[in-house]
Amino acid sequence: MARDDRGVIDVLFLLLPGSLLLDWAGPAEALRMANAQRAAQGEPPRFRLRFAGPGDGVAGSVGPLLTGLEPLPATLPTPSWVVLVGQPGDAMDLRTPPARAALHWLRGLRLAAGQLELVCVCAGAVIAARAGLLAGRQATTHHQHLDELRAAEPACEVLANRVFVQDGPVWSSAGVTCGIDLALHRIAAACGAPLAARVAQSLVVALRRGPHDAELSPFLRHRDHLHPAVHRVQDALSQAPRQDWPLAAMAQVAHTSPRHLTRLFAEHAGTSPQDYLRTLRLAVAQAGLQAGRSVTQAADLAGFSSDTQLRRAWHRAGLARSPAAARGLNAAND
């Protein structure tokens, strides 16, 4: 039977000699784990990982030879991401034959959001700049390479002190570990915030965001901790916020008492189990309103017992306007 590739994103890691291992291995593992989480739910993989370079093998930053790289492809399917990574040292050496071949290949790319996108990890942004892909765009990189990036492409607005930056089809991240932050952000967009939270938990990293990104999804808030019982409850609530969740049912998921679960949530998540669930339900209700549902329909969709309960939760959370006004505003903007 032919494989159904609909919905699969090709992720091509372009590896040059000396490519920093953590720059590409961290994001690649995050994407692999996202596929594994989907498989556990009976869903097909979302990402196809590919590793390419000007030669069939390169020595990585820590020494071992990476073999079996595919050649730089003549064409890429849609959608695809091309991932560029950095090298050790204070400056990128792009004068070598492999680097020149990579730059020539990159100059032929026609980037378009949602179709062919560029993901730059750390000093990978310098490679993109040398290929002419950052002119007229905003980007960031590791703090040691900020001036190098400015010199490589004066027409690029280089932003410092950012976890990552998006400008159309170009994504760039700061230091090496920020590549994992960017991968988690992209996983959340492609596979849903609850799945990204589970990947972050598996990686034992905190979920972060860039200072000028949109506010973190409610499904990702209060997840920057390592307590397994609290994560179990948060996973269960995120997957079924509409379900009836008395505190005793949450405690059963955590394998602890209701009183102890409340203490654990306060200590590790900075909120109560009930308030966490209410936040998730409000997010579901807001999404329903944005999709054109009535207030009553949005309340039912989110697990509120009535539209009155939704309105009370809305005002208690300090949200602007009212559910009805939010729906009217969204409809007016359509």
User: What's 124-164 look like in SS3?
Assistant: HHHHHHHCCCCCCCEECCCHHHHHHHHHHCCCCEECCCCCE
Region 284-296: mean pLDDT is: 85
Could you give the percent of the chain with pLDDT greater than 70? 90
- DSSP 3-state assignment of 9? strand
Task: Say whether pLDDT at 299 is over 80.
Answer: yes
Task: Say whether pLDDT at 282 is over 70.
Answer: yes
Q: Evaluate whether 16 touches 88 at the Cβ level (below 8 Å).
A: no
Q: Evaluate whether 11 touches 81 at the Cβ level (below 8 Å).
A: yes
Question: What's the confidence (pLDDT) of residue 311?
Answer: 93
Look-up: residue for tokens 């009836």?
244
Question: What's the confidence (pLDDT) of residue 19?
Answer: 87
Top pLDDT among 207 and 246 is at: 246
Task: Say whether pLDDT at 326 is over 70.
Answer: yes
Q: What does the alpha-carbon distance between residue 185 and residue 213 come to, in Å, rounded to a whole number?
A: 10
Could you give the percent of the chain with pLDDT greater than 90? 56
Look-up: residue for tokens 């967009």?
189
Least confident of 52-56, 119-123, 229-233, 248-252: 52-56
- Dihedrals φ, ψ of 114, to 5°? 80, -5
The closest of 198, 205, 248 to 225, measured between CA atoms, is 205
Express each pLDDT in 59-87 by its tens digit: 667 667 777 899 999 999 999 999 999 88
Top pLDDT among 263 and 208 is at: 263
Task: Say whether pLDDT at 57 is over 80.
Answer: no
Residues 6+ apart with CB under 8 A from 48: 5, 8, 9, 10, 11
Q: What does the alpha-carbon distance between residue 198 and residue 180 come to, in Å, rounded to a whole number?
A: 14
Which helix (DSSP H) or strand (DSSP E) does residue 315 occupy?
A: helix 307-316
Express each pLDDT in 104-129 by its tens digit: 999 999 999 999 999 999 999 999 99
Q: Evaluate whether 264 touches 254 at the Cβ level (below 8 Å).
A: yes
306 token code pair: 């009535």
> Could you give the domains of the chain?
9-194 (3.40.50.880), 221-334 (1.10.10.60)
Give the predicted TM-score (pTM) of the model.
Answer: 0.70
Mean pLDDT value across the chain = 87
Q: What does the alpha-carbon distance between residue 318 and residue 19 come to, in Å, rounded to a whole number?
A: 48
The closest of 48, 55, 49 to 18, measured between CA atoms, is 55
b/e code 277-312 from CB counts within 10 Å (16+ = b): bbbbbbbbbbebbbeebebebbbbbbbbeebeebbe
Question: What's the confidence (pLDDT) of residue 32?
Answer: 96
Region 168-196: mean pLDDT is: 87
57 token code pair: 């093998």
Task: Say whether pLDDT at 253 is over 90.
Answer: yes
